[in-house]
Amino acid sequence: MTEAPIRAGMPKGFRSAELGWPELDRIPHPPHRIPLLGDVVGVNRRTPLQDSLRYARRLGPVFRRKAFGKEFVFVWGARHTADLADESRFAKHVGLGIANLRPVAGDGLFTAYNHEPNWQLAHDVLAPGFSREAMAGYHPMMLDVARRLTEHWDRAAGAGRTVDVPGDMTKLTLETIARTGFGHDFGSFERTRPHPFVTAMIGTLTYAQRLNTVPFPLAPLLLRSATRRNAQDIAHLNRTVDELVRARRTDGGGQGDLLDRMLETAHPVTGERLAPQNVRRQVITFLVAGHETTSGALSFALHYLSRHPDVAARARAEVDRVWADAAEPAYEQVARLRYVRRVLDESLRLWPTAPAFAREAREDTVLAGEHPMRRGAWALVLTPMLHRDPEVWGADAERFDPDRFDARAVRSRAPHTFKPFGTGARACIGRQFALHEATLVLGLLLRRYELRPDPAYRLRVTERLTLMPDGLRLRPERRSAVREPASELRCPVPGAGD
């Protein structure tokens, strides 16, 4: 197994961008820069992304921010982002929040450096786990988890209660990836408090985020107790995953899920297999990467549906038409929900839940013919701003309008203008999984409930490496015409109740 050196609290890759930009002075930065501290006036430690969006609006498509002596270059202009998508000149940069996750996810797919051989090995071994056939195999398990959600929402609807949308979507997406990927059941819907694995996972994500906002030399001092807790969280994650793997090795029974692939599949060309420590890292990677982002996407979509009754009615009419009398949709009936999918895309446009990705120059080059970059220099693409570039999305880019994603509108836009899943070789391997799961769940919820918003709620966005609507509650109301799923159509789920 290859492991890049990690310095405690400051992973490799967490270099300031400034060294690689010979003409950095030409790139605008916020006013009122304070010596040593940098651009800290008016910033909020809890909302670094939303602060960057504010600066982006003022400073233009390429700008920089300096915090605690480190300079970062941000890019959001469509032309500049398209240039960064050129795989022959740029690649993924593992830095900031992602590099901070190396102590827990190591050379797992998401956090691997480009040069680490385990990236290609794991990518080739696991990519078939996201094929159409694999997805069709996950569909019944996704339905089974969704049924646990609707049982929970039915009880709330019966009592006239509101539901905690991000909380419930997080339970749903965690159970879905755990079940489909690893045959595991965290029992999230049956618990009153989160599973300890979930608490540990959130702990490590929060810690990784905090490391970004504390001046590096002071991190060991300021975060001493948080660092100790983080080590305990990582140990808990490792123990849980090791137990899961041990159980699979002794009991078998994964029926070709991701864990089976990780343990048993050899690389088609080299015959190599993933080493045990790498399997552990991949399991943690998929459990983390496979749920928070989709949960946020579903939550934002439900927020917009509840606020746009006309859009909800159109989406619901589509579901009723496409699914007709089926008690539960077949796999193919999900892809046919074209308008529901547009609702999801438009929600991901406004709030791409993994809101930035970093690109580094493979060689000395010039970004969009304007900004020289040396080999290794990098920039952060601010996806929520790219998705609001007025040159692409018009002056009303803030308006929620799913028709921006009808086929003709999509064809008329330049490539690389919609990037919620990143770009190139390191783009999201779970894209189809997320889209199938989220479209299915939105379809099920639209068909079963009217979604009543709290009129006083104003969208607030929390940041924890991923984005989530804060405090969003809805009151689901059962629609009278909804059919109960016939019990004989329920799909038996291997490993249910594990």
Positions marked active-site: 293, 421, 428
For ligand HEM, the closer CB: 44 or 255: 255
For ligand HEM, the closer CB: 430 or 476: 430
For the CB of residue 369, give the shortest distance to ligand HEM in the complex, in Å. 24
For the CB of residue 256, give the shortest distance to ligand HEM in the complex, in Å. 15
Q: Which class for 365: exposed (0-12), middle (13-18), buried (19 or more C-beta within 10 A)?
A: middle
Render 248-313 in DSSP notation, one character per residue: HHHH---TT-HHHHHHHPPPTTT-----HHHHHHHHHHHHHHTTHHHHHHHHHHHHHHHH-HHHHH
Q: Integer distance in angstroms from the first to the last C-alpha of the chain?
A: 31
Q: Helix, strand or coil for residue 70?
A: strand
Question: Which residue type sits at 301?
Answer: A
For the CB of residue 399, give the shortest distance to ligand HEM in the complex, in Å. 21
For ligand HEM, the closer CB: 373 or 467: 467
**What is the torsional sign of CA 293, 298, 299, 300?**
positive
Binding positions for ligand HEM, rule: CB under 6 A: 92, 98, 109-110, 123, 177, 285-286, 289-290, 293-294, 297, 352-354, 357, 420-422, 426-430, 433-434
Residue 26 CB coordination number (10 Å): 11
Given a contact cutoff of 8 angstroms between Cβ atoms, the answer to whether 340 and 319 are in contact is: yes
The Cα–Cα gap between 243 and 194 comes to: 19
Q: Closest-CB residue for ligand HEM?
A: 430
For the CB of residue 297, give the shortest distance to ligand HEM in the complex, in Å. 4
For ligand HEM, the closer CB: 12 or 452: 12
For the CB of residue 130, give the shortest distance to ligand HEM in the complex, in Å. 7
Given a contact cutoff of 8 angstroms between Cβ atoms, the answer to whether 83 and 216 are in contact is: no
> CA 476, 479, 481: angle at the middle one, nearest 5?
160
For ligand HEM, the closer CB: 148 or 426: 426
